[in-house]
Amino acid sequence: MKVSACTFIRNGQLLGYPFVESIRSVLPIVDEFVIAVGQGDDDTLAILQDLKEPKLRLIETVWNDHMRVKGYVYGQQKMIAQFACTGEWIFYLEGDEVVHEKDLPLIQASMQLHLDDPAVEALVFDYLHFYGNANTYLWSPGWYRRAPRIIKASVRSYAPDGLFWLVLDSNKRGRYPQAAHTGATLYHYGWVRSEAQMNLKASRVEKYWNKQNAAIDYREMDGRILREFSGTHPAVVQDWLPKEPGLFQVNPDYQPSRKQRRHWRMLQLERWFGLDLGKKHYKLVR
């Protein structure tokens, strides 16, 4: 079984991504890691080259700054990397997502188990979205709790944006992939970066999503969806994480937005009726 990993990155150093930690977290279980490195304003490409990691394959790209269709440039970059992969499985990992070393055997076992199962096209992970600091994560239907991050190379798939895949059964219509659960978790650290880095990122990428982002203030959040993390973080990312104790403290006078109020009502329904009302970009078949 040959396994490829892939991602795309641009200005990863400038925008505070733990992209080196992300890459290193899965290197033990992949045969190659293909990275589409966008031409940027920092040393991201040099940092990746200086790793001198034989499994890395770097593809230098130029982003289309004239594209205004929501997220499509992200999809283009993801597919540049994916189309260059040569494995039977393709593990797509974003630059702020890290795998815990304890889950590597689970992921390997899941890929081996479902390799020859035609009903399984992709593999799904649970998610922990950390927020504000390393001790706090978000739990709400507004933040996806599971997502596919591994797909078979034999599946005719494409990415409308960087987040998810569609599978083509014909040339005219796409669907979400049929998936099995790995039993593993992805640790998402995008919202642990400094507010300055997050606001810089928002200003840099909003044109690719055809929208204007409001200023990010971590304290302006619905505190009812914050939970305290009691587990351990992946060893590879611990030096990168901020060393702040306790649950992240939000503004107690913050008034949740209309969307956040709707998500809170959905969360209540989940608790009462045992539902999962979060967005799913897959169909679970195993």
pLDDT of residue 202: 86
d(CA 250, CA 265): 20
Tokens of 279: 């967005």
pLDDT of residue 162: 79
Candidates 80, 16, 75, 76; CA nearest to 42 is: 16
Tell me how far CA of residue 38 lies from CA of 9, 167, 195, in angstroms: 6, 26, 23
DSSP H helices in the chain: 19-26, 44-50, 72-83, 104-114, 195-205, 258-273
Residue ranges of the chain with pLDDT lower than 50? none
pLDDT of residue 209: 76
Tens digit of each residue's pLDDT (9 = 90 or more) over 258-268: 999 999 999 99
pLDDT of residue 247: 95
List domains and CATH numbers for the chain: 1-286 (3.90.550)
Taking 3-state DSSP, the helix, strand and coil percentages for the chain, each rounded to the nearest 5, stand at 30, 25, 45
